[in-house]
A and B are shown apart, each in its own frame.
Chain A
């Protein structure tokens, strides 16, 4: 029922958006190359689905995305656990992180291209940077917020490291870590496209640049819509996993 209501609302609002878009096109005050009509864009989507361009580029992008994102998860969680546990070391690392964190991965582009060349490298590194900080910070704060009673219980049963880290601290920090993973997923997806606009010769980001270069504004729009929808699906998938685990643990 709830899901039905929600999807009705989604359909209504998206239809409204398309209608407004179509109305703006109908006023004729924009040239077609500046604002293609919905019908033309959907034709464009159909075109790249049919000739396989979309699927080829999607495969490349998702492979880069997973490489960058999963290595950020791995590095962020492991480092976060260690730094969260060693408050002394963290107090030294924290200022560095605070300085580097607000820097957009795009600002690193000149160096990324110099250091990692062209091809998959730059995109993967961009995604890594985008995902790493939220994961690191949420893991550190998750470790810092472990309920004192769990640590007392562990102490009482004489649970030593590394079992303490993996059996008590990691799972109890999980809700906060999951939150960070979710946030990181979103920002990594945003920067995937950016990463593929420099140096890459394939992928969803490149697809848009390529469309622009061949003056196909309908395909630029098609690319934007596809990236939006895929990002949404990815987010929902992770959200579903997260809420399933939280429900089982009784954390709502």
Chain B
């Protein structure tokens, strides 16, 4: 298996308050090239799990392995995209995208060529000399995507990346990330609390529940691309996910009119 998470737990110890289980004995295998959504309410440990895969954090017990090797620290082979974009406000779009390439010691001219290629890919060429503050939220997240893809990682980790965007922009960005995924064949692990977003994007939806954070079930989404948000198949799977969270009224009514 490409990514294998085995009995991974993460406890936080708070002075005077004992410990909390942010993540409890999680098992999950992910194949190369899969689009996985981690779905659940806040406190279900989905971001904690993402941080473990990213290497920003370590499990208190259990293991997280990629290609059979334990994850111990962050790597440019798996880039995290944050909800608040994490762009450097003192660099323009071009220089932001070049950031990761600088650390790889790629010569200046080549850096520029690669950066321009990825800015083109996310459709921001006219804005390459703009600063982040001059761009809308959706555009800033595109810059973050271009910056991540420019170092050619195998895995993209996305932590509620469209959480700060309005509904319309959000759907545009979902189309965009799907297109990039189909074109670049990356493995994507995508954290969200939006059920429709998960059904639209994921090959498999990992449903998580809080206290302690754990995986409740995994829902496969056997729909082709690109998905129709109003199609009958789509709604059926969406309903199934609603049911998993106990959000759907049961058929047997327990009240009478």
Contact = CB atoms under 8 A, between A and B. Distances in A.
B88 interface: yes
A164 B134 CA distance: 25
Interface stretch (A48-56, A91-99, A208-216, A244-252): A244-252
Contact of A156 (B76, B88, B134): B76
Interface stretch (B28-36, B77-85, B162-170, B204-212): B77-85
Nearest to A171: B90
Given A155-B56, A171-B88, A250 B131 contact: yes
B131 A152 contact: no
Contact of A153 (B86, B89, B134): B86
A158 B86 contact: no
A149 B76 contact: no
A145 to B, nearest CB: 14
A172 B102 CA distance: 18
A159 interface: yes
Interface size class of A (residues with CB under 8 A): 20 to 34
A115 interface: no
Interface string A136-177: 000000000000011011011111100100011001101000
A168 B76 CA distance: 17
Contacts of A172: 88, 90
B100 interface: yes
Given A149-B84, A163-B103, A167-B102, A156 B74 contact: yes
Contacts of A156: 54, 74-76, 79-80
A158, A159, A163 pick with most chain B CB within 10 angstroms: A158
Contacts of B89: 249-251
Interface string B101-116: 0110000000000000
Contact of B74 (A155, A160, A171): A155
Contacts of A251: 89, 133
13 contacts: A152-B82, A153-B88, A155-B73, A156-B54, A156-B74, A157-B99, A158-B76, A160-B103, A171-B90, A248-B133, A249-B133, A251-B89, A251-B133
